[in-house]
Amino acid sequence: MKKNVSKPLEDLDFHDFEISPIWVFALDEEANDDQDETWVKPLMSTRNLTFDWYEAYILLRTNKNHLPVFARVDIAGLTLDDIWMKADDGTPVELKNTDAELPMILVSDISIEGKENVRFVVTSDKESAIIHEEDKKLFKKKTWWQRLLGR
């Protein structure tokens, strides 16, 4: 796959995260005849996801055995959903359909608002994860005008 090539979300796999650890929705490309709002593209310019992005798919690792995971992050709420682990054959499998043991902590492979190794705790249904209580303190949400003025 070439760099900066969009693809349907359902085709996203672990090989794509070797190109970029952050994938965003390609809403600026919806005018293309073969694309719609479900297409994603790699964010090549940075490894730091900021509050400027509403949501993205990011690469994470399990804290115990460092297995790769990708998930959709809601950057404003600092939560994860649509969580995928790597199956034995290398294909993605939804976390909720695995026998993975809980509790499980997922650690970001990217920076979020300049903070590295942000931790998320997987919920009991394995369908989502919330930011680790200790890491929540790292994020002080700013209003849009504070971000605009750099305050």
Chain segment 93-148, per-residue pLDDT in tens? 999 999 999 999 999 999 999 999 999 999 999 999 999 999 988 886 655 665 66
Q: Are 73 and 55 in contact (CB under 8 A)?
A: yes
Q: Which residues contact 43 (CB under 8 A, 6 or more apart)?
A: 20, 22, 23, 24, 49, 53, 56
pTM metric for this prediction: 0.86
Q: What six digits make up the tokens of 123?
A: 């919920």
pLDDT tens digit string along 34-88?
A: 777 788 999 998 999 988 888 999 999 999 989 999 999 998 889 999 999 999 8
Q: Which residues pair with 80 in a beta bridge?
A: 73, 129
